[in-house]
Amino acid sequence: MRVRLSPEVADAVGSGRGVVALESTLLAHGLPAPRNREVAARLEEVVRAHRAVPATVAVLDGIAVVGLTSVELDRICDPARQVDKLSHRDLAVAAARGGDGATTVASTSTLAHAAGVRVFATGGIGGVHRGAAETYDVSADLDVLAQTPIVVVCAGVKSILDVTATLEVLESRSIPVLGYQTSRFPAFYRRDSGHDLTWRVETGAEVAAIAEMHWGGVGPSSAVVVANPVPAEAELDQAVHDAVLEAGLARVAADGIRGKDVTPALLAYFHEHTDGRSLRANEALVLANAAVAAQVAVALAPDQP
């Protein structure tokens, strides 16, 4: 499919400056309007504040765009528009039909890599869903990350997933997972999923050095996942989190929601039943991830001023 870079992103990639890819599914399907547009602007501001160039990714009129303009961000964030949720498998369909789509972790990673962007900030990556032994519900993110050399800064995986199984799949796919200033794997709204991490890093420069070494190894290279916990002040209370999660899982099961519709349904349930606390946590963690990603991108850039 055709991939179009904004002039700013094209110049930054071509001149060896740091660029951070940002997904658009968070904006079109993860946050309500008008907060989605406000967060889109804040994400780009955070990346710029750390001397990198933001590149929000989406598909518009069947063209993959890496680096949305302000008008294009308005379009993706407009709740009145039909914006499909596009994973890796959906890109060709959207391109052939000339449609609009918001990109997930899998599709954003694919398009960012195709554009020469080496760092990506998101909220949380997908993983193995609970009950996957019966449903086979495993996010495409895992296989795409296994074959795409990109640094992905995230707040771990959402607690609605099977965290243990997800970590096992990441290991089996040879995807390094680095804890950013932590030795425990985070779970999106919660700073600690209950799982230890083998590797801890303290700075963006350390992440960049590991990524360069990983990608320069023998054979195909995978992504490097950087797990950055939600800021402590925005973390959801454990008791509240667990009660809402249990009720949300029961609601999803009762409503017969399956596949890619499960995550947005559960996130919406959290937003509705935590008096906005989960929404604030979501915003705080993705902004924190953008800051870390920008530091990594600058450290990876050969000609960063």
- Residue 263 makes CB contacts below 8 A (sequence gap 6+) with 126, 158, 160
Q: Which of 85, 158, 235, 283 is catalytic?
A: 158
The DSSP output letter for 237 is: P
Residues 202, 206, 211, 217: what is their CA dihedral angle, to the nearest 10 degrees? -120
Phi, psi of 36 (to 5 degrees): -60, -40
| Residue 295: both structure tokens together | 């530091």
Tell me the C-alpha distance between 156 and 162, whole Å: 12
Q: Beta strands 119-121 and 151-154: pairing type? A: parallel
- Tokens read off for 91: 């890109």
23 annotated active-site: yes
> 49-78: b or e for each residue (b if 16 or more CB lie within 10 Å)?
ebebbbbbbbbbebebbbbbeeebbebbbe
Residue 54 near residue 44, CB atoms below 8 Å: yes
Structure tokens at 19: 């660029």
Q: What are the C-alpha distances in Å from 18 to residues 10, 107, 286?
A: 11, 20, 18
Catalytic residue selected from 23, 44, 235, 283: 23
The SS3 of residue 23 is coil
- 240: Cα separation from own chain's centroid: 24
Is 158 part of the annotated catalytic residue set? yes
Residues assigned a catalytic role: 23, 158
